[in-house]
Chains A and B, each alone.
Chain A
Amino acid sequence: MAEVLFFIAGVGAIAGAMGVIASRNAFYSVLSLVFHLLSLAALFLLLRAQFVAAAQVVVYAGAVMVLYVFVVAYVGGEGQSLTPVGAGLVPLAAVFAGALAAELLIALLGSGLQVVGSSGAAYARTFGTPAQIGELFLTKFLLAFEVASYLLLVAAVGAVILARRRRGLPEEPREPPRHVASPRLALVGTMAETVHALPSSERARTHQGGW
């Protein structure tokens, strides 16, 4: 049973990885990566890492990938050609990746580590449970835990500063919301008009258009 599950999840992980680099549209790349992450979570479960698998699904395949989808929708992912300008470099890159794979697999086959051939050491019932991971984070790895929280704070602040609107850049053309232009009763307004967020000409035009 474990062999069948490993085969399905392993093939899924490799196929998802191939989909990421082969899709022409960045949106499909993101979806392939979600598939790859879910397959990887199944592999983590086979390795008795329950908490890591759950975190993988919730944090990675859930939160981080939503961020990716938003940015792909903002930037526009389609229509990017797969072949670079210097197209002669693509075979070279493939050769490099293949050489790296061969090297890693040779290292794996030739390694004298006993772990590689074994199917895993004996483990306690609590192995990989959230209780055990949490206890380790608060006792043995407390410093790493605190440093990770600082890192997340720094990254969040950095992302806000990087992506904010800067002065001196040309303003993006701002389209008025489409629903405002529709005819409607003169007494009915939107929140944006209440706080005078719309230009006055816009307001006048929409008010004239009322019944």
Chain B
Amino acid sequence: MAIGWYLAVSALVFCLGAGGVLIRRSPLVVLLCLELMLNAGNLALVAFSRGHGSPDGQIFALIVMVVAACEVVVGLGLIVAIHRRRLPVDVDELSELRG
């Protein structure tokens, strides 16, 4: 299998994630779509790592997974805090910081 096919799958998944961030309103699903985009990046990193025969790209992918886990934890904490304050869990209605 040529590396290009893996990169094509990665590009499609990234675009699906980007479209999901734009379309969905629930912050939970927006976080899930961010995960999709990060995983698409991971797939590209691992594919290039295989293409060059060097494991550095896999290290990069693991660090991306750590950062994604941190992002998920903080994001879910924010969603729980929003829910506690009885605010609507909806990205369109949480617009108090609009300039």
Contact = CB atoms under 8 A, between A and B. Distances in A.
A67 B70 CA distance: 12
A198 interface: no
Contacts, number: 243
Bin chain A's interface residue count. Answer: 35 or more
A77 B92 contact: no
Nearest to B69: A64
Interface string A51-75: 1100110011001100110011011
B13 A159 contact: no
B96 to A, nearest CB: 16
B interface: dominant SS: helix
A74 B82 CA distance: 12
Nearest to B67: A151
Given A64-B72, A120-B50, A141-B59, A162 B77 contact: yes
B4 A116 contact: yes
Contacts of A94: 19, 23
Interface in B68-96: 68-74, 76-81, 83-86, 89-90, 92
Contacts of A74: 80, 83
A36 B39 contact: yes
Contact of A82 (B23, B49, B90): B23
Interface in B21-79: 22-26, 28-29, 31-33, 35-36, 39, 42-43, 46-53, 55-56, 58-59, 61-63, 65-74, 76-79
B84 A80 contact: no
B11 A108 contact: yes
